[in-house]
Amino acid sequence: MRRATALLRRTPPRRRQSSLVNAGLSCAAGPDGHQLRKWASEHADNARDVLKPPPHGTRAPDLSGLDEYLRARKWAKTTAPEARALLSQALTYPLTLAAHAEVLKLGADASIVIVGARAEAALNTAWWAELLEACPAVHDWTLTFVGPKLRPARPTPVQRSTKTLTVKAERRYVVAADLDQADAVVLFNPGVGHPNLREGWVSALEAVKASGHPLLCTGHSEMDSQRDLAALEAYAPLQFLVPPSQNPFRSRVVIADPADAAHMTAANSHAFVLKRL
């Protein structure tokens, strides 16, 4: 279920593009079941070109949905729905965070900790830099990915005009002290309610609860999110800043859960925000 999200890793430019294309090609994309493999083989140049972010803009893009965002950013080669599905794999993480930045009360200077990070930490920093485009309030933001399966990465700053984004990854389990200076906590597709994963999340969720910070949580599907909610309710009564709903910036690459072929999943399919855990 998580393979479709392990995309655009920190590798040389040519390999980065082919990795994203190849990973996406193994999946049927979007609600209409677009077959990316056939499209990309017939439109190889477009499949590569769509993965090239446009230059830095001067106006904040439209965050009402992926299509609106791409139009506002004047993103090239996005006419085909298959192209947008492929591109959605890279943009789902930064734009999901951007779409919830205001409700998370992320100001000009902010520290965001992504707990239990995996695929999102491997995403090239150039894609996370879309936060500098999408969030007009940004002055100096830091993203810290923490997880036991990460490849450690030194702080990597990206600067555009007067905006700075620093991205770093730390391979270990999160502890309460990691969240002391955070402004918000994010769990991307954590599976905290999955029977095979629930026990492994106990210490991390205790740290998140102790922090008292707002929490953005996504899931691979409505069922996945509901299962996570049931697990989180064991820690505290849930106070929603944003109730569970389908995420307009979900990945449009849809795959079947290996454990249940009838359960269709996509990275960041659904999302909710808690005032605190």
Query: Are 190 and 217 a contacting pair, CB within 8 Å?
Result: yes
Nearest-angstrom CA–CA distance, 1 and 265: 7
Question: Three-state DSSP class for 198?
Answer: helix
Weakest-pLDDT range from 21-25, 26-30, 73-77, 101-105: 26-30
pLDDT in tens, 28-71: 444 434 477 778 888 888 888 898 899 987 777 899 999 999 99
Number of separate domains in the chain: 1
What is the per-residue pLDDT for 20?
52
Query: Are 175 and 116 a contacting pair, CB within 8 Å?
Result: no
Pair type for strands 215-219 and 184-187: parallel
* Domain enclosing residue 60, as ranges: 3-274
Nearest-angstrom CA–CA distance, 249 and 193: 23
pLDDT in tens, 144-191: 999 998 988 899 899 988 899 999 999 999 999 999 999 999 999 999
Q: In this structure, what is the dihedral angle of CA atoms 6, 4, 101, 200, given to the nearest 10 degrees?
A: -70
Q: Predicted confidence band at 27 (pLDDT cuts at 50, 70, 90)?
A: very low
pLDDT in tens, 126-148: 999 999 999 988 999 999 999 99
- CATH number for the domain that contains residue 219: 3.40.50
Say how many CA atoms lie within 13 Å of 151 toward its Cβ.
10
pLDDT of 13 over the 90 cut: no
Q: Predicted confidence band at 23 (pLDDT cuts at 50, 70, 90)?
A: very low
pLDDT in tens, 221-277: 999 999 999 999 999 899 999 999 999 999 998 888 888 888 889 999 999 999 999
What is the per-residue pLDDT for 8?
45
All residues at 6 or more sequence positions from 191 whose CB lies less than 8 Å from its CB, including other chains? 197, 219, 220, 224, 228
